Amino acid sequence: MLNLHIARLSPSSTSCWKTTLPHQNTFLSFNFFSSSRLSEPKFPKIQQQREEQEKNDSFTVSYLRNSCGLSPKLAIEASKRVRLRDTTNPDSVLNLLRNYGFSKTHISKLVGRRPRVLLANPETTLLPKLAFFRSIGLSSIDIPELISDAPKLAECSLKKALIPRYEVLRSVFVDDGEIVLKIIKYSKNFSNASYDRNLLPNIEVLRQAGVPQSSISFLVTNYSQIAFTKHKKFLECVNSAEEMGLDPSRITFIEMVQYLIRMKKSNYEAKLRVYERCGWSKDVTILAFKRFRTCMSYSEEKITKMFKILVDEMGWSSEDIAISPMILSYSLKKRIIPRCSVVKILRLKGLVKKELSLTSFITIDEKKFLDRYVIRFLEDVPQLMEIYNGQIDPLCGMQS
């Protein structure tokens, strides 16, 4: 038998025990954490969990591809957001959706965007919502389109979100059939929290301002995105429309509100300064804005040129333009300059009154203008047609 001579090393050297074999001068270290122990798996539970996870991931991807119709790439992406352990609940969800008219395309679209729908309780979570949409008139064709386009609807609370929002729509639209169409059309907004945060208080602001139900319906129908504007900004624009003196009972009030919302405040203030330089006070500009909202959308260059021609060269006052601000909408090259050139010659020759109003020759259609101001005076000014077409300078026509 091998005799072991065990020597205890001094503390200054090391604290481990060492042994010596007879007839050898070297020490062999006996480490209690020997290599034989290190070769064994350190964390068997973690390894087991990892293998189970990989198995589940593989199963999830396979299910998403084979049962839900997702492409390999989309299935892998969707598997990062949901992990399936068996087919029981997912199969129940898919069967329920098929019973409500969901095609393979609808299911693929819905699951691809909201894969966790496969984990929803089909009886207590999904079925009540599907039944609700059917109860308010949506068909087996409408429901799949609605939910696959706005999959967040499947996650919304029925009692806290969907039903209250539907009740609001019922208060806006008289015809239930119209409500259904609006839900389908604005499904993304219907599933969004901004519905509660913005639309509801915005409608209440309009009601308090005295806006009739018909105008509110008009807003939601024709300017749906405006209706969902952040409440603070919406309130500011309603107040601005009231300060302009617009009648809330008229549809022009709603049209002004939506226009103010679309326009940046900085742009609005910049246009006020442009018109001020052209001779309008702030009150006059607001008056023109009330009469013709798009006058605030024109470039500074166009506004400046228009005033230069009509006021500086033709002699009308800036207030004349404010009375008929729609004049600003016409093209300088195609209408304003040609017609003003003709009228300028006719006024200089005394063939028309100098007090001629702007609208009397600018807003009428081309045939009427030619009959009244060109063809009628060709004997007096033979070059009038060439002047109108820009072929002759107005001063040359005057001298003939």
| Separation of alpha carbons 343 and 341, rounded Å | 6
Q: Which residue has the higher pLDDT, 200 or 66?
A: 66
Q: Is the dihedral of CA 65, 68, 73, 75 positive or negative?
A: negative
pLDDT confidence of residue 224: 80
pTM, full prediction: 0.59
- pLDDT tier, 233 (very low <50, low <70, confident <90, very high otherwise): very high
Q: Which residues pair with 27 in a beta bridge?
A: 20
Helices then strands, counting H and E runs in the chain, come out as 25, 3
| Separation of alpha carbons 74 and 54, rounded Å | 18
pLDDT tens for 293-352 read 889 889 999 999 999 999 998 989 999 999 999 999 999 999 999 999 999 999 988 998
pLDDT tens for 362-391 read 999 999 999 999 999 999 999 999 999 988
pLDDT confidence of residue 25: 45
| Separation of alpha carbons 109 and 115, rounded Å | 10
Q: Which amino acid is residue 270, in one-letter code? A: A
Across the chain, where does the E strand assignment appear?
5-8, 17-20, 27-29
Calculate ∠ Cα 338-375-394, nearest 5°.
Answer: 35
Which range has the worst mean pLDDT, 12-26, 213-227, 263-277, 335-349?
12-26
Mean pLDDT score of the chain, rounded to an integer? Answer: 83
Residue of 131, 194, 158, 223 whose CA lies nearest to 166: 158
pLDDT confidence of residue 192: 75
Please state the domain extents for the chain: 193-262, 330-400
pLDDT confidence of residue 42: 54
- pLDDT tier, 56 (very low <50, low <70, confident <90, very high otherwise): low
Q: By the 8 A CB rule, do 333 and 341 touch?
A: no
